[in-house]
Amino acid sequence: MAARKVIITCAVTGSIHTPSMSPHIPITAQEIAEAAIGAAEAGAAIVHLHARDPKDGRPDQSTGAFAPFLKVIKQRSSCVVNITTGGAATMTIEERLKPVATFKPEVASLNMGSMNFGLFPMLGRFKSFKHDWERPYLEGSKDRIFKNTFADIEKILTTCADNGTRFEIECYDIGHLYTLSHFVDRGLVKPPFFVQSVFGILGGIGPHPEDVMHMKRTADRLFGADYRWSVLGAGRNQMPIAAMSAAMGGNVRVGLEDSLWIGPGKLASSNAEQVRHVRSIIEGLGLAVASPEEAREVLELKGGDRVAF
């Protein structure tokens, strides 16, 4: 009997952590491309991509920031490219949507609800910062809403409707599953749904095993066989929650967007290191890692030859 295949997504750089938090966060287009390719070579079928300003590492959602690394990744890897529509909570929906509308990737992330997104506790762990934007960015999350209204979600879905882009549907709480169900009922999201359950962000559902099981039970009840489940655990929750998902029949997401760590008090040296670590967990459970082509088949993606980069 063949081993079940687990899809690994690697979130390469993100907008949560700032450059001062780890010297290993990829910042420039070349660094992001190399990090994504390294993660794919380590076993990630999908790479989830943000962009940053190469001068100071702040989040940058301009198409000019994405174009250089998208082209390099496509030339050198067969991995599935997943572009964020989350961007950063400081951006407008128009800014956040522009790269996906322009480059028409196989997969794009889509947050299923407005929420408090608390980054400010990181200020207790990191005392000094290299760039003047970092501390206010983190402090501002105490009084900032990450806006993803029904109108915002509908705008993203309808803008991408003719592009063949599927979505990594990020659900930070139980209510987000019901919001997805609303858009499914309206016919704006087609199965199979790729549901990424997010645990351990302050303002969303917690990282307790009961929270993970509650998310899975609720998604099972709402979507049955029409969805594919994946998880990400923030910070130190990354690997334990990935292990739970793999054991429960799900898929996993790792990467420096979600956690800077590879073990207690030890920074991960690269995205690839995290991918190799979660791969060892998956294979230790008697499971196998899905290739990009296998992920395309499971998620019914359009193929890398139909993107606009």
Task: Please give the C-alpha separations between residue 244 and each of 75, 197, 227, 277, in angstroms, as whole numbers.
Answer: 34, 12, 18, 14
User: What is the model's pLDDT at position 276?
Assistant: 98
User: What is the model's pLDDT at position 187?
Assistant: 97
Residue 109 belongs to what H/E stretch? strand 107-111
User: What is the model's pLDDT at position 127?
Assistant: 87
Q: What angle do CA 270, 271, 277 make, to 5 degrees?
A: 95
User: What is the model's pLDDT at position 224?
Assistant: 98
CATH of the domain at 178: 3.20.20.70
User: What is the model's pLDDT at position 1?
Assistant: 78
User: What is the model's pLDDT at position 2?
Assistant: 86
Q: What angle do CA 210, 212, 214 make, to 5 degrees?
A: 65
User: What is the model's pLDDT at position 260?
Assistant: 98
The domain tally of the chain equals 1
- pLDDT, averaged per 10 consecutive residues of the chain (309 residues), comes to 94 97 98 98 98 98 98 98 97 98 98 98 94 98 98 97 97 98 97 98 98 98 98 98 98 98 96 98 98 98 97
Considering the entire predicted model, what is its pTM? 0.98
Q: Which amino acid is at 212?
A: V
DSSP state of 96: H
User: What is the model's pLDDT at position 35?
Assistant: 98
Task: State which residues form the domain around 45.
Answer: 5-306
